[in-house]
Each structure stands twice: as structure tokens, then as C-alpha cells.
Amino acid sequence: MLKFEQDRSKFPEEKDGKLEIDLDSQKFIKIWQGPNHPGITGNMALELTVSGDEVVESKTHVGYLHRGFEKLMERRKFIQCFPICIRMCVPEPDINEYCLAASVEDLAGIEVPDMAKWLRTLVLEMARLVILLRGVPGQGGTMSLGMGVQWGVYVRDLMIDRFEELTGGRVYHMYIAPGGVRGLLPEGFKGRMEEVLKKIDEFVVDIDNLMFSNAVFKKRTKGIGVIKPEWIEQYSVVGPNARAAGINRDVRKDYPYLMYDKLDFESYVGKDSDIYTRSRVRWHDLQTSVDMIRQIMAKMPNKGDIRAKTPNVLHWKIPKGETYQRLESSRGEYGFYMVTDGSAYPRRINLRGPSYNSAVLLLEKMLVNANISDVSSMMVSLATCPPEIER
């Protein structure tokens, strides 16, 4: 097999901590990837400086989305914040519903009924499946394994059908509200959900054969895009990206919320911290969520109170205070820091999501010296969500 050695003499030198790149020397060329969706994880862009087919420098550019939602919510009553916050991560909107509702409940001293907690746990795991059914095969899609992407779109749509049946919405649901949830499971829902879960079981096997047993996929992912151990703490790496590096970080286990302490599950932990391992961790996360949904449907009661008594939401003044409410999203720890001043409006809401660290700080480091053909797969393996950055 041919082996090419890097010629570092062609690369720029650092001066005062910055690379000296002379584009007029014709040793380097600047190209852009994005900000269109194809080839990029949403509306962001990578400004790449390359020498031949190697990346010399990478800069992440955001600002292509109509956001600013944190500031918009400061001018909305608490109940009016829900249609806004869900857009801070479109593929997994329910995590924002929960964080906002949990923040309001904590500051207002509201105890959510157990039945509502079971339903919230169910919805959050359904949301995790929806995003993973797109994300896991999407990793293969960066290497032209488009068949898996099509399989994922089909099975994901079946889960979206269950969301529509439960909440009335397919993308945005607004099912979780302060004090509880908006309704019980429809009649026959558990049976229809089990049919979808069986389809996902088949999908998991197919993806294993298509991707993880594929010699080309292994060659393109093993040892590529390694997150160095010292970067884990430096860049606050969480969720699957941390677990792929051998560090077991899962808010569901570390800081149990809702009904997760009543479920039997273990988070898969890898060790090689490369693209292959991160993909494998998320593949295992798919199976874990399927098993957890089955446990939830078996353990949850068929009826019960789904909403605590709350004041009129249009005139609800939350006591002065501050809180931080977190959960485990498909990308890792995700939380809302909320400050209230005793009025009917939040004083400040700040989102803590893993995407900024991954898409900007970490990705810019990882791409240096990478081959240009690996840029997409390295980026997708970090599972960033641009709206979460531009909130």
C-alpha cells in the first residue's frame, strides 16, 4: 500500500501564536464548506485553508440563522417562551420544553405528578430516537453510504407518526408544559409504539452490517478524528463524545431526573475516541433508548394526574430567584440557566449546550492536519446542532 509522508516544510510557521499564511505564495488555498445544509451539519460554514489535500487551518462561521431566542424570551411571558425555545434545537425540540418547564417549576415550587414524569421521560427518549435515527446513518452518508440514510428516514418517520398521535405535531410538539404534560397516551398507543420499536430493532442490525462491518467504513473512521484526552476537560466534552473517549458522562445517571432512576440501563463507553467509536456509541444509544421506552411503557400506570395546579399562565408571576435545570440530550449535557425577578417575564434565560464547544473550539483543533476528504465525517461525528449555537 502506498504511504505518503507529510512534508511539514510546506506548512506555515507560527508567529505570536498565529499561523502566518501567505495566500499569494500559492502554497495554500482557502475554500469554504457550507453554509448550505448538504455537506454541513446545518446552517454554518467552515473556512478551510488547505495545502494540497491537507487542512492547515479551520475556522467555524455561524450567524446564518434567524436566532437570538434567549433575548426574545426576556420579552415574553413564561408560557409564550415555549414556541420560541423549541427552535433552539429543531431536530430534538422536546429537550428545550423540559428544561424551560423544569426551570419554571423549580422557581415556582411546583411538584409534578408521577404520571406526568413518566410521560415526559417517554417523550424525551422518543426525541432521542428521532435524532439518532438520522444521525447514526448520517455518519455513513458522509462516505456515500446513502442507503442507510434512506432506511433511517423511513424508520424516523414512523416514530414521528407516534409523536403526531400523542401531541398533534410532527416536528414541534409543545407537549411538556409547566406543571406536567398535555395529555395521556391515546388508546392502543403502546401497541403501535411496539411495532415501531421492532422496526428499529431491524434497522439497528442493518446499520451494523452496512456500516460497522464495512471494511471501507472502518478504514475511513478508525484512528481518524481522535479527540485527545487533554481536550476532554479543556473543551468540556460531554455525552457520546466523552463516552467514546472512555469517560462515562451521562446526566441520566450522574444527576437523575424524572423517572430515570427507576429504569435499568447502562451507557455504552468506548476508548479509542475516534469517528468509529463515536458512531458506535450512538449506535448503542439507539438500542438503549429502545429498551428504555419498552421499560417505560411496562412500568408506567395507565392513568393518573398529568398536571399540577398552576395559576393563570397569562398572569403568572414567578418568584425572584435563579436555577439551572439539565438533562442528557443526544449530544450530552443540555441545560437552562434561568433568572427571575418576580415579574411575569423571565429576567434571563441562558442555554448551555455542547454544540458550541464541539463545532467551534473542538472542531477547529481537530481539523488541523486532517485530509480534506475526512472533514465531513469528522464534523458529523461530533453531532453539532447550529441553532443551539445561535440561540
Q: What is the pLDDT of residues 204-245, one digit of tens each?
A: 999 999 999 999 999 999 999 999 988 999 999 999 999 999
DSSP label at 36?
Answer: S
Domain architecture of the chain: domains with CATH: 8-61 (no CATH), 69-353 (1.10.645.10)
CA atoms within 13 A on the CB side of 4: 7
Return the SS3 of 197.
Answer: helix
For residue 210 the three cell numbers come to 452496512
pLDDT value, residue 387: 86
For 137-148, the DSSP string reads HHHHHTTT-HHH
CA-nearest of 83, 194, 79, 216 to 140 is 216
Region 87-96: what's the mean pLDDT? 91
- Which tens digit of pLDDT belongs to each residue from 140-177? 988 888 899 999 999 999 999 999 999 999 999 999 99
DSSP label at 184?
Answer: P
Strands 29-33, 45-51: parallel, antiparallel or unpaired by DSSP?
A: antiparallel
Which secondary-structure segment (H or E) carries 81?
Answer: none
Outline where DSSP puts E strands in the chain: 14-15, 18-19, 29-33, 45-51, 54-61, 176-177, 180-181, 321-329, 332-340, 346-352
The answer to whether the CB of 355 falls within 8 A of the CB of 33 is: no
- Which tens digit of pLDDT belongs to each residue from 304-326? 999 999 999 889 999 999 999 99
Q: Using pLDDT thresholds of 50, 70 and 90, give the confidence band for residue 199.
A: very high
CA-nearest of 97, 157, 98 to 133 is 157
Percent composition of the chain: helix, strand, coil (DSSP 3-state, to 5): 50, 15, 35
For residue 36 the three cell numbers come to 448550505
Q: Please give the Cα distance from 187 to 179 (Å, whole number).
A: 23
Q: Please give the Cα distance from 101 to 316 (Å, whole number).
A: 13
Q: Using pLDDT thresholds of 50, 70 and 90, give the confidence band for residue 126.
A: very high
- Which tens digit of pLDDT belongs to each residue from 49-74? 988 888 988 999 988 887 789 999 99
Return the SS3 of 274.
Answer: coil
For 208-226, the DSSP string reads IIIIIT-HHHHHHHTTSS-
CA-nearest of 352, 353, 365, 358 to 381 is 358
pLDDT value, residue 83: 92
| Region of poorest pLDDT, from 87-91, 107-111, 215-219, 326-330 | 87-91
Looking at residue 193, its amino acid is: M
